[in-house]
Amino acid sequence: MTFHRSCGKQKRQKTAPKPKKDKDKLRIFFVNLNSRLAILFVPPKLLLISKMSSRYNLEARISTLRYQLAAAEKELDEMEFTSPDRLLLTTEMEAMALAFETRAHYKSNWKKAIKGDLVKNVANILEECYYYLIDADSGLDLATVKAQTGELGSRQWQLFVLKVIHYLKQEGSFIRDEKSWNFDTFEDTAGGCDEVTQDAAIYLIEHPEWQPS
């Protein structure tokens, strides 16, 4: 019996190469691992410096934002202050009324009356008269009234209040004692100061051309 040897070499089966993605994943793993180990071995002093630097940067940013906010608020206040429709402050109205007395001898008594709420008292009386002034029973033309007084509580209304005070001042309506030149603040309306104030308002509405002498 004859045996035949195979002359050809047996072919080895080729193993499939590992995907490149596996190598990339392994490389990324070691990079991340090294980064974490590096953090663990960072000296505490360097970590503290890093945290302090971050804090200083944050505080500097906050300081800058506060400065910008303050500047914006100041600009807004200035815009509102210069607005022609801005309401007058109580102190501003009192200062304007204070200027109605130009005689040095009587300025101290007039100032005392102003500080005694004269402006406020006259304004309150006029507010009570307002609805009568715009009513048809007053005999006044509504458009004429509005042209002089404006809307109740507006800047124009405040200026009308000051105009009434100036008119009453010139007419001598605030004089309580001619000898001492003490001025009435119109706090007590029992003496008829409310009627005097209303008549003054009507006169100024009907005579818008009036100017203090």
Does the model's pTM come out above 0.95? Answer: no
pLDDT of res. 74: 72
CA angle 49, 54, 60 (to 5 degrees): 125
**34 in the same domain as 137:** no
**112 in the same domain as 43:** no
**181 is a domain residue:** yes
**136 in the same domain as 104:** yes
DSSP assignment of 76-122: HHHHHHT-TTPPPPHHHHHHHHHTT---HHHHHHHHHHHHTTHHHHH
**199 in the same domain as 119:** yes
Mean pLDDT by 10 residues, the chain (213 residues): 44 50 59 54 59 72 77 67 81 96 91 96 96 93 95 95 97 83 90 95 96 90
**135 is a domain residue:** yes
Domain tally, the chain:
2
Residue 171: name the closest of 209, 145, 130, 210 by CA. 210
**77 in the same domain as 30:** yes
**149 in the same domain as 63:** no
pLDDT of res. 24: 61
Q: Cα separation of 149 and 173, whole Å?
A: 21
Range of the domain at 98: 90-206
Instruction: Report the SS3 class of residue 25.
Output: helix
Domain's final residue, options 59, 81, 103 = 81
**40 in the same domain as 73:** yes
Domain's final residue, options 32, 52, 81 = 81
pLDDT of res. 58: 73
**17 is a domain residue:** no
